[in-house]
Amino acid sequence: MDLWYTEKHSENVGITLKATRTLFSGKSPFQQLDIIETLEYGRMMLLDGLVMVTERDEFVYHDMISHPALFTHPCPKRVLVIGGGDGGSIREIMKHATVEEAVLCEIDGLVIEKSIELLPSMACDIDGSNPRVTLHVDDGLAYIREHQDAFDLILVDSTDPIGPAVGLFEEDFYRLVHGALKKDGIMVAQSESPFYHAEIQKNMYRNLRNVFPIVEMYQAFIPTYPSGLWSFAFASKQYHPVRDFDKARAAARPFHTRYYNEDLHLGAFMLPTFARENIAP
Ligand code: AAT
C-alpha cells in the first residue's frame, strides 16, 4: 500500500509527498514531532503536522537564513540562533572562521535529541563535537532577556506564529533582540511566504520598523514550504545588506555553499511588486 503525507497549506491547497516509513513519532510538552522518510525529499521533520525541514531542500533555507548576515557584518564573532533545533543554521554559521561562539537556544529538547539521532547531516555541529557551539534548551524570549548587549548576530529560526513561537513575531521581542545585539548587530528572522502570508508579513515588518533603523526583506526558493516562495527579514542597527555588502569577500569564501553566492546575495533583496507591497511602510 502507498503511504502519502499531506500538509494542508490552506483549506483548498496542500503539498503531498510519497513516504516509505515513520522514523519517529512523539509528543513533547510543546508540540507533536514526527520524522518520516519520503521518496523525493529524503527525511522530513514535521512539527504539529507542518513541514519544518527536509534533507533535500534544507540547504536553501539554512544558507539563506545565515550567510547574508554573516557576509554583511564585517566580523561576526558571537552568534545566537533562536529555534533551529535541527542544527542546520549552526552548521552554516560554523563555516565562518571569525565566529568564536555560536549559541543555540531551542525551546524543545526533543527536537535537538531526535535531530542528532535521525538528521545527522544537519545536526553535525550540535552533537557535542564542536567546542565553539553552546546549547540551551529554553524559550528564546527568556534567554535574550538575560543576555543584553551580547551578540553580533541573532538568527530567529523559528516556527510559524502559532504555539510557542507567537511571541517571536511581536514588537516587545524585537526590542529585546535589539538590546541583545551589540551596537552594530544584525537580526535575521524567517518571515513566512509573501504569496500566502501577507497579513503576518505586514504586522511583522511594521513591528520590526518600530525598533530597527534598517529593515529589508529577501527571498529564497524552498519547494516544501507553502507556495515555494519564502522570505527572511533582515533587521540591522548599522549595516545595510546591499550598500554595505563586500561582494569580493563573499566571492572569496573558502567553503562551498549550494544556494548562496555573492550575486544571489544582491538578487535576493530585489522583490516582486506584490511582496514589496506586503511590507510597504
Ligand atoms: N531550521 C528550520 C527548522 C525550523 S524549526 C523551528 C524551531 O523553533 C522548532 O524546533 C521549535 O521548537 C523552535 N521554537 C519555537 N518557538 C520557540 C521559542 N519561543 N524559543 C526557542 N525556540 C522556539 C524552522 C521552520 C520554519 C517553518 C516555516 N514554515
φ/ψ (deg, to 5) at 257: -130, 130
Cα(85) to ligand 1 centroid in Å equals: 7
Per-residue pLDDT of 188-232, as tens digits, reads 999 999 999 999 999 999 999 999 999 999 999 999 999 999 999
159 is in an annotated binding site: yes
Cα(68) to ligand 1 centroid in Å equals: 20
Strands lying side by side in the sheet with 229-236: 133-137, 101-106, 78-83, 151-157, 181-190, 229-236, 214-221
31 is in an annotated binding site: yes
Domains of the chain: 3-54 (2.30.140.10), 58-278 (3.40.50.150)
The mean pLDDT value for 258-265 works out to 98
Q: Is the ipTM of this complex over 0.90?
A: yes
Per-residue pLDDT of 114-143, as tens digits, reads 999 999 999 999 999 999 999 999 999 999
Average pLDDT of every residue of the chain:
97
Please report which confidence band the pLDDT of residue 22 belongs to, taking 50, 70 and 90 as the band edges: very high
Place of cell 550567510: 67
Percent of the chain with pLDDT over 70: 100
The strand pairing partners of 249, in sequence order, are none
The mean pLDDT value for 250-264 works out to 98
CA distance linking residue 88 with residue 79, whole number of Å: 14
73 is in an annotated binding site: no
The mean pLDDT value for 14-39 works out to 97
- The SS3 assignment for 68 reads helix
Quote the Cα angle for 158-162-167, to 5°. 65
DSSP assignment of 93-116 equals: HTT-TT--EEEEEES-HHHHHHHH
pLDDT of residue 76: 98
The mean pLDDT value for 12-22 works out to 96
* Closest residue to atom 10 of ligand 1, CA basis: 85
Q: Beta 181-190 vs 133-137: how paired, if at all?
A: unpaired
Is 2's pLDDT higher than 90? no
CB neighbourhood size of 166 (10 A): 13
pLDDT of residue 31: 97
Nearest-CA neighbor of 16 among 61, 45, 51, 43?
Answer: 51
pLDDT of residue 233: 98
Is 1's pLDDT higher than 90? no
Per-residue pLDDT of 165-175, as tens digits, reads 999 999 999 99
Cα(116) to ligand 1 centroid in Å equals: 16
Contacts of 143 by beta carbon, 8 Å cutoff, 6+ apart: 80, 82, 105, 136
Is 27's pLDDT higher than 90? yes
pLDDT of residue 118: 98
Asked if 51 and 9 count as a contact pair (C-beta separation under 8 A), the reply is no
Residue 216's H or E segment, with its range, is strand 214-221
* Identity of the residue numbered 86: D
Q: Candidates 107, 110, 146, 172: which one to mutate for ligand 1, based on the most atoms within 8 Å of Cβ?
A: 107
Asked if 157 and 81 count as a contact pair (C-beta separation under 8 A), the reply is yes
Q: Which residues are catalytic?
A: 157
* Closest residue to atom 23 of ligand 1, CA basis: 83
Nearest-CA neighbor of 44 among 28, 21, 10?
Answer: 21
> How far lies 137's CA from each of 60, 90, 237, 277, 280, in Å?
25, 15, 28, 37, 36
Enumerate residues lining ligand 1, CB below 6 A.
47, 52-53, 61, 82-86, 88-89, 105-108, 111, 139-141, 157-160, 164-165, 168, 190, 225
Percent of the chain with pLDDT over 90: 98
Per-residue pLDDT of 224-242, as tens digits, reads 999 999 999 999 999 999 9
For 78, the grid coordinates are: 558571537
Angle in degrees, 0-180, between the axes of helices 198-209 and 171-180, rounded to the nearest 10: 50
146 is in an annotated binding site: no
Per-residue pLDDT of 80-117, as tens digits, reads 999 999 999 999 999 999 999 999 999 999 999 999 99
